């Protein structure tokens, strides 16, 4: 319960920072997706179920601050975090390249989904512009943040929310 008390305001703050600060200090036209990076890290830190709930809440916060249809981001975030939760229990879960690899793949999937949604609502979409100027720089920034976020979330998880052990 404590994680939700802390997590929900944190997600709200991240969504606001995404809109006010990080929309201006990106790379080319790309910007890091703070909420996605934190959610992936939280899921890989062993809190996959919570991360899925946070994905819904974080997606809703982002949808509130976007012209995309309300709920659209929440759907892909929940779906993505469910797919990431499947990593749990795999023998390669501890591989140090897993967080960046998952961040890379998830970022690309979410960008593709966003473009698909814009196409569906009739907004002009140009992949030849979006790929080099938005998608690749944004994915690169997410990749840069992936490992620090994973270590931060793992430390937080171990220190404040240690996993229950079945005896």
Partner 1 sequence: MRRPRNRVILAGILLMIAIGILLLSVSGYLQPAEDLLLRPMVKVQSWIAIRYNAIRDVLTSPSDISTLRQENAILEAEVARLQQEIISLQEQATEAEILSALLNYARSQPENRYMAANVIGQDVSPFLRSIWIGTGSEAGVVQGMPVVTERGLVGRVAEVFATISRVQLITDPEAAVNVEFQTSRADGSLSAQLSGELWVDLISQDADINVNELVLTSGLGGNFPADIPVGSVLSVRKRDVDIFQQAVIEPSVNFADLDIVLVITNFQPLPINQVQ
Query: Of the two residues 13 and 101, which places its CB atom closer to partner 1 in the complex?
Result: 13
Q: Which of 66, 105, 131, 140 touches partner 1 by CB under 8 A? A: 66
Does position 60 interact with partner 1 (CB under 8 A)? The reply is yes
> HSE of 103 in the Cβ direction (CA atoms, 13 Å)?
31
Does position 78 interact with partner 1 (CB under 8 A)? The reply is yes
For residue 47, give the nearest of 139, 167, 166, 160 by alpha carbon. 160
Does position 108 interact with partner 1 (CB under 8 A)? The reply is no
CA dist., res. 153 & res. 150, Å (int): 5
Phi, psi of 153 (to 5 degrees): -70, -35
Does position 59 interact with partner 1 (CB under 8 A)? The reply is yes
Does position 153 interact with partner 1 (CB under 8 A)? The reply is no
CA dist., res. 30 & res. 4, Å (int): 30
CB of 151 to partner 1, least distance (A): 22
For residue 8, give the nearest of 47, 42, 58 by alpha carbon. 58
Query: Of the two residues 27 and 97, which places its CB atom closer to partner 1 in the complex?
Result: 27
Query: Based on the number of CB atoms within 10 Å of its own CB, is 159 exposed (0-12), middle (13-18) or buried (19 or more)?
Result: exposed
Residues that bind partner 1 (CB under 8 A): 12-13, 15-21, 23-24, 26, 29-31, 48-49, 52-53, 55-56, 59-62, 64-72, 74-75, 78-79, 82, 85, 88-89, 114-115, 118, 122-126, 129-130, 133-134, 138
């Amino acid at each position: 319960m404590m994680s939700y008390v802390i997590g929900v305001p944190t997600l709200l703050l991240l969504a606001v920072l995404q809109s006010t600060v990080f929309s201006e200090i990106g790379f080319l036209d790309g910007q890091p997706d703070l909420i996605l990076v934190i959610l992936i890290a939280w899921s890989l830190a062993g809190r996959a179920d919570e991360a899925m709930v946070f994905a819904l809440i974080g997606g809703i916060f982002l949808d509130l601050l976007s012209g995309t249809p309300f709920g659209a981001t929440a759907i892909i975030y929940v779906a993505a975090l469910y797919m990431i939760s499947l990593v749990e229990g795999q023998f390669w879960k501890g591989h140090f390249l897993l967080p960046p690899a998952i961040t890379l793949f998830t970022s690309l999937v979410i960008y593709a989904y966003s473009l698909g949604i814009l196409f569906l609502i009739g907004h002009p979409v140009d992949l030849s512009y979006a790929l080099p100027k938005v998608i690749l720089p944004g994915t690169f920034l997410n990749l840069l943040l992936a490992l620090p976020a994973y270590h931060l979330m793992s430390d937080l998880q171990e220190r404040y929310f240690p996993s229950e052990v079945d005896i």
